[in-house]
């Protein structure tokens, strides 16, 4: 069966570089500059995943994801975005996104995510291993770090968390960087995904 990676991004430069990256490791990549063009060409019979930009004119990535679901197409979706705020990340994961990667992305990170999305069964094994590692990282948080971790992934600002805990915003920034380091998170979307995966937050109750 033919394996395909669909790449959807309205930024032509980003689109070209992503396609080049995927083709450089032998993957078959098909490029689209709009969500609708991708949906028109999408073949559900193929073994495929889609690297999908969140913010695009006319039809954004979350709408494309919804359209795939309405058509009954169970294709792994890897979102990429230069503007990853908590509500968007939450909506994406809640709707079953495979991954959410911030631009400018690490090339190996994207390739690993694509390979995992295409490999199906292996992803499940990796997921159980990751769950064990995630639990270990959560256990390593101090009570104060956990106090900062939960409001952070719920979408509260540094100032709001500082007011809740009656400390200065600078103190919160310090704890935030410690939490990111302990949880091995590069960006906020990583942290949100971990919190949802661990069942610590209800996506419906996030801001």
First to last CA, the chain: 42
Residues of the chain with CATH 3.40.50.2300: 3-119
The predicted model gives 36-56 an average pLDDT of 92
Radius of gyration of the chain (CA): 18
Give the span between the Cα atoms of 104 and 2, in whole angstroms: 29
Least confident range from 22-36, 77-91, 98-112: namely 77-91
List, for residues 85-142, the tens digit of each pLDDT value: 777 888 888 888 888 888 888 888 899 899 989 887 344 445 556 777 888 888 888 8
Which DSSP letter does residue 84 get?
-
Q: What is the mean pLDDT of the chain?
A: 87
Residues of the chain with CATH 1.10.10.10: 126-201
The better pLDDT of the pair 176, 198 is held by 176
* CATH number, domain 3-119, options 3.40.50.1950, 1.10.510.10, 3.30.70.1450, 3.40.50.2300: 3.40.50.2300
Q: Looking at domain 126-201, does it have CATH number 3.30.540.10? A: no
List, for residues 133-170, the tens digit of each pLDDT value: 888 888 888 889 999 999 999 889 999 999 999 999 99
Task: Quickly list DSSP for 8-59.
Answer: E-S-HHHHHHHHHHHHHTT--EEEESSHHHHHHH--TTSEEEEEEES--SSS
Q: What is the pLDDT of residue 203?
A: 65
Statement: residue 197 has pLDDT above 90: no
Give the span between the Cα atoms of 11 and 117, in whole angstroms: 23
Give the span between the Cα atoms of 31 and 18, in whole angstroms: 9
Which DSSP letter does residue 187 get?
S
């Amino acid at each position: 069966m033919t394996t395909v990676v669909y790449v959807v991004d309205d930024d032509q430069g980003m689109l070209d570089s992503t396609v080049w990256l995927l083709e450089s490791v032998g993957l078959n990549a098909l490029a689209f500059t709009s969500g609708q063009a991708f949906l028109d060409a999408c073949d559900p019979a193929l073994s495929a995943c889609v690297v999908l930009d969140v913010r695009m004119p006319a039809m954004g990535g979350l709408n494309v994801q919804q359209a795939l679901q309405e058509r009954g197409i169970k294709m792994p979706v890897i979102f990429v975005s230069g503007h990853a705020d908590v509500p968007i990340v939450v909506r994406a994961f809640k709707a079953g996104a495979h991954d959410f990667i911030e631009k400018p992305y690490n090339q190996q990170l994207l390739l690993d995510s694509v390979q995992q999305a295409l490999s199906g069964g292996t992803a499940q094994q990796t997921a159980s291993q990751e769950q064990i590692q995630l639990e270990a990282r959560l256990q390593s948080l101090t009570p104060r770090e956990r106090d900062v971790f939960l409001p952070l992934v719920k979408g509260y600002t540094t100032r709001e968390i500082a007011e809740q805990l009656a400390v200065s915003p600078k103190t919160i920034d310090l704890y935030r960087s410690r939490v990111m380091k302990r949880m091995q998170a590069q960006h906020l979307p990583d942290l949100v995904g971990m919190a949802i995966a661990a069942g610590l937050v209800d996506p419906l109750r996030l801001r």
